[in-house]
Structure 1
């Protein structure tokens, strides 16, 4: 499908200076959300993540069991939304969390660089779903975005989306730290949504610049404009570099201010994190917690 010509239907991104000014405004507003109720929601929106070269069946099983045991140990705090792992561990996680409402997220499609054949990407996604993944996180082809091959980048997403059942959630990572400019971040966001993304996600967490409030503002404004034009709600996920409870509250506030409270559900807002989990728990409980 031709996607590049549809970009002209959307206004250009704000300038970097305008985005920075908006972030500064929202930072001040975020102070109202430094409270236990917001932190509890942010915890429940986490895709708790282990994406390490050291992952093994043993370590991932232990990680997943610990996550499942949270229901009994902290019944007053809603548990994380999902566990995010590499495709080869989807079945492992499924066995460990069986009987819980937790979802399974798998990165796939040549994560984190997405530099492989489209057929390989589609097959890896299909295998992850076959093994029980409820949600798939793929990476938009950053190289194609940087060279202006917008149709090619979006068509990869379209092909992968077409191979998935509608009840499987597709999150598209735009790797905002590599795109750098508000205009390219906006284009990547719009193209991903046009091609079928259910969520757009900031980062893989595997390059130096991960999630930033500036990228989040640009992405959420793109989501808002896409919704106004199409009537379709797309979710937002901040990932990489979200470490403190205050970090989480800032992204919560960005979504609240730009998209509204109706986006503040785990169906439309996620945080990809591992270190943030303990910090949110500590902020909720008022003492240091090292659960993970």
Structure 2
């Protein structure tokens, strides 16, 4: 990739980034640092993504910047206590969350209870409708089978997902181009250009970003991937993007 091409990818990817801190040891001070990084000399990221307990803090810190506040529910396990998930979702929205990243009940799905998983998503959608975007995390690295990844994507979209997201970043295998292709193909098959896609986990370099954007351009068209339809879930990649824009060398860092 030429320097000019890399810079073009970096500019594009920065505006599509959900800058993330979902570390178990996250503190209010870490959230302040995350929010400070969200607005760069090259523009702001799309959103910050953090645990529900930090939503109100981030909302205050980022007021007026245009950066959206995303949080996670049913995270990371994708459990079956729907009442607790609904309560967590409602509270996060009241605290100021603009986007809810909900983990599909993927174990129930794999156990042959897709209806449970779909109903849970639909009930979360009823809480978020008109108030926050709903991103449904499939945990594709645990589902593994391509046909099942396809079916899980279809279920999530049918239940009202505004985005489908690959992974929590908390399992051994997270975002892959193979899973991304399947999920994008399902979105394309719906004929709905408004359903978004978010690869998450293990995206650390400009080359990683370029690969996912190239795939989205190939399947959905070159004008489709924008903040309303495409996000990267990552923390370490921001340093790599900025280094590229500043003609510095950076290994992309580590992280979600």
TM-score range relative to shorter protein: over 0.9
Equivalent residues in 2 for 1:1-292, closer than 5 Å: 34-68=5-39, 70=40, 74=41, 77-108=42-73, 110-227=74-191, 231=192, 233-288=194-249
Residue 66 (structure 1) shift = 3.5
Q: Distance in 2 between matches of 1:32 and 1:233?
A: 32
Q: Which structure is richer in relative contact order (CA contacts within 8 A, separation 6 or more)?
A: 1
SS at match of 1:262: coil
Range with greater deviation from structure 2 (95-104 or 279-288): 279-288
Q: Distance in 2 between matches of 1:264 and 1:291?
A: 22
Normalising by the residue count of structure 2, what TM-score does the alignment of the two structures yield?
0.93
Residue 150 (structure 1) shift = 1.2
SS at match of 1:90: helix
More helix by share: 1
Residue 58 (structure 1) shift = 2.1
Q: Distance in 1 between matches of 2:4 and 2:161?
A: 29
Alignment length, in residue pairs? 253
Range with greater deviation from structure 2 (179-188 or 114-123): 114-123
Structure 2 unaligned residues grouped into runs of 5+: none
SS at match of 1:190: helix
String of CA shifts for 1:15-44, please: whole Å, max 9, x gaps. Answer: xxxxxxxxxxxxxxx889943122211111
Residue 232 (structure 1) shift = 5.5
Residue 111 (structure 1) shift = 0.4
* 254 and 85 in structure 1: CA distance in 2 versus 1, 3 angstrom threshold: same
Residue 65 (structure 1) shift = 2.8
Contact 1:216 1:238 in 2 (8 A): yes
Normalising by the residue count of structure 1, what TM-score does the alignment of the two structures yield?
0.82
* 116 and 191 in structure 1: CA distance in 2 versus 1, 3 angstrom threshold: closer
